[in-house]
Chains A and B, each alone.
Chain A
């Protein structure tokens, strides 16, 4: 069946360290994978996405890695800051014309000062 899951519900890191948030997916036909950040009481914000024909994409302080062999997606945040504390969701777009996304459960990132 279809599912997008994250390995850990909570990740705690020290300010300044790098964070790695993981996600496993099961649908090989997905076209895009997306990472969202959701702060408490707010809607999710787009962070970065990656097409299925890529294995790495970099943004500002963030890198997304896609390993299609093991169906694994990760979000790396460099020099984690207190403002990075939030829930992070991975999502996949199956590439259908509907634009529908399937979301994972979310990982809570806690940044310790």
Chain B
């Protein structure tokens, strides 16, 4: 059963702690993305990666970091520098260019609460 998995579904952390959110896909997609969603809002792009060992900042990268050591995995670290980390975090992936490159497949999300 192919898809994107994110874990955990709910995550609680104390302020000042770094936390890493997991995203794994077995769709053989090259590109992966991280979005942040706040209540009643659309999705905002944090980071994206088009290929292994390469990634670019999105619109709201400050306070976040990523790595892309494997094609299947794109973990996101929310650092203590992120001023408002409490949010719903969504990971997505999309097929290689030349295919349906516009179609992003989303994971189920991780709801992070920082107190």
Q: A interface vs B, CB < 8 Å?
A: 4, 9, 31-32, 34, 36, 41-46, 49, 89, 93, 97-101, 103-106
* Interface pairs A-B: 8 shortest CB-CB: A43-B106, A32-B102, A103-B42, A93-B102, A103-B43, A105-B42, A44-B106, A99-B94
* Contact residues of B between 81 and 115, Cβ < 8 Å to A: 90, 92, 94, 97, 100-109, 111
Question: In the complex, what residues of B have CB within 8 A of residue A100's CB?
Answer: 33, 45, 48, 58
**Residue in A32, A41, A105 whose CB lies within 8 Å of B41:** A105
CB-based nearest B residue for A49: B102
Return A12 CB to nearest CB of chain B, in Å: 16
Do B43 and A99 touch (CB < 8 A)?
A: no
Question: In the complex, what residues of B have CB within 8 A of residue A42's CB?
Answer: 108-109
Return B92 CB to nearest CB of chain A, in Å: 8
CB-based nearest A residue for B103: A46
Cβ of B56 < 8 Å from any Cβ of A?
Answer: yes
